[in-house]
Amino acid sequence: MTTKNTVCRRSKIFARNLIYLSALTAAAWLAPFVGQLTTRAAAQNGAIPDAMHVPPPPVTRTDNVVDDYFGTKVTDPYRWLEDQNSPETRAWIEAQNTYTDSIVKKLPGRDAISGRVSQLLKVDQVGLPMERNGRYFFTKRAAAEDQSKLYFRQGPTGKDELLVDPLPMSADHSTTVNFGEVSRDGSLMIYMLRQGGADEEVPHLFNVDQRREITEEFPKARYFSTDFSGDKSGVYYSRQTEKGPRVFWHKLGTPSSEDKIIFGEGYGPEKIISSSVSEDGQNLLIHVLYGASGDKVEVYIKNLAKDGPIVTVVNGVDARFQASIGGQKIYIQTNWDAPLEKIMATDIATPGRDHWKTVVPESKAHIEGLSLVGGKLSVLYSRNASSELQVFDATGKPVREVAMPAIGTALGLFGQWASSETFYYFASYFVPGTVYRYDLNTGAQSVWYKPDVPVKSDEFEVRQVWFNSKDGTRVPMFVAHKKGLKLDGSAPALLTGYGGFNVSETPFFSSSAVVWMEQGGIFADANMRGGGEFGEKWHQAGMYEKKQNVFDDFIAAAEWLIASHYTSPAKLAIRGGSNGGLLMGAMITQRPDLFAAVLCQFPLLDMLRYQNFLVARYWIPEYGSSENADEFKYIYAYSPYQHVKAGTKYPAVMFVTGDSDTRVAPLHARKMAALMQASAAPGRPILLKYDTKSGHSGGDPVTKTVEDVTDELSFLLWQVGATPK
């Protein structure tokens, strides 16, 4: 559900689970659009529109379908826009994009914004390396290139050698590649091929020694894991099927139609299943997640060396479990009887929970992730929404803390059980992501890769503030801006947040945040309930019937910024995506007076019908479903699409989505944009920015990303009255 990969903080298992037209043909339905095309052309040829006086949007027809939810009649005026591929919907999308472009492409200072965003994004980038038998595998993108390529080095300082280049694979550079897994001896590689921002991928095999593709066919699907067997004779993988997730065994040299299902029968499509082979190739761990948050997880193990049966590690417990194998032990991160989580261990020979012993007890900081490296336990904590890394020995005895450069986000330590060499990643709002090499035995660390991003980090400052939400709950928020900024309420502010799925919103580098602050703005990031910053109780306080707490927290954050003279409602913009897009929808409908502009990206908005589309049943354990009478009541109370009121003075809104979002159905943004355009009082614009290849999983070429960020920042700055410098 996440838009930035914060879920990477947990592990490969959870990282892969959770956190980017058509011709007019029939005169009968073309008629409603004819007048609009003339209006749009006039707008395109005119002057730059005033922030409060923009040309009217295209008119959208209504069909007013009525649904009956347990005796409550609910009208849906734009049900027809749910059909993404109908000629009428495609024509409507084209009309909306033309209207949006006629406004945002002419905004003042756009060239300056584009130039600065380009400077920040078009730099060399190198990802976290994965070491296998002295070979280091990593992604790398040169400053002038649109997508990352797959490379490796022989030795830590060896020459970078190209393995897979996605750029020739598509004319528009919308094809992306990433690592699936590399065999322990570094000779074979699985890489994942993705088109646009869709979640679906195709695994490919590659012979590293011979620098060539291996002809193996796999279906295009939503994959949760891929891994080589210890002897490299085949691949274990987990993917979604029509009946639900299944773990398969694929023997190299055989057609995928002969792949054997080894686990998953009986589990429906609302579950997520992943598998991983132990470092020594002896065992297979299997995780079953009940929903995207993994609030209930089952764990199983299979002895591959003896082709043993699948044995239960844990099931039937309503708690989160994440198991990893180190040597002859299973280490388990869990919130079972520990809301802030703990680490337990047992021998592989006795995996059942009756044999578990606590090795790292629950503390006052939330455990975000566990890595087994160098015979030790690397534990990633979130303390007051900032990362900490602690190293323990195999028995849980503290070894040392890895010092962080500043308040920010760490990912890692990543490495292997048999090696003391590890890597981690660190970033903050104005500190570009840097990869560090770390020796677990000595504690020595060095920079493995630091991007040359042209940002003067010492010109900015960030601090954490606390405010009271509606019910008195204390909630933290990070506030960042240029040093010496006059705080008299006149500065433009950009407030963001997420508040869901146990995802912690910790400081992460953002080119748009840097540009915003360079323009004299304030960037604020609220840590609402529903996230994972303070453990499971904090998460549960923002889900199901308590979802309104998330919205109340965000409103309180905005009111604090105003009361503390950081900004004013006329200068306050907000943004959020995915579950954060739902947050934006709630802000639009619950407090339209509090904000000047809203950027609502890949959002959930019609919460009465969300569960009917794509993979949304993964999220029922987080939100509930209108199919249940009791859950319908509280979902209906906040669902943004059902709370748009005619004649209301809404803030300016830009909805962002695209055809390749195969996670959150783009129909939410389509329907909400149409409804708000028809309902909002004249004044601020309601826009839809709809890309046919963008989706939840990113994948946009850098040149397209620069264009999109430029559009979004130009729109927000325009609406808060800030002329870009």
Enzyme catalytic residues: 578, 696
Question: Is the Cα dihedral 134, 306, 259, 240 positive or negative?
Answer: negative
Q: Cα separation of 376 and 270, whole Å?
A: 35
3-class DSSP assignment, residue 639: coil
Q: Cα separation of 204 and 175, whole Å?
A: 14
3-class DSSP assignment, residue 667: helix
**CA torsion 509→511→513→515, rounded to 10°?**
140
Q: Residues with Cβ < 8 Å from 529, sequence gap 6 or more?
A: 469, 473, 475, 499, 538, 539, 541, 542, 546, 549, 550, 553
User: What phi and psi values does residue 29 have, to the nearest 5 degrees?
Assistant: -105, -5
DSSP 201: B
Interior CA angle at 486 toward 482 and 487, to 5°? 100
CA distances (Å), origin 394, targets 328, 343, 355, 403 = 11, 11, 17, 21
Q: Tally Cβ neighbours within 10 Å of residue 268.
A: 9
The partner residues of 249 in beta bridges, in order of sequence, read 236, 260
By the 10 Å C-beta count (0-12 exposed, 13-18 middle, 19+ buried), 185 is classed as: middle
Burial 147-166 (b: 16+ CB within 10 A, else e): bbbbbbbeeeeeeeeebbeb
Where residue 61 falls (left for φ over 0; alpha for ψ -120 to 50; beta otherwise) is: beta
* Token code pair at residue 18: 């959770």
Q: Tally Cβ neighbours within 10 Å of residue 511.
A: 21
Q: Cα separation of 471 and 553, whole Å?
A: 9
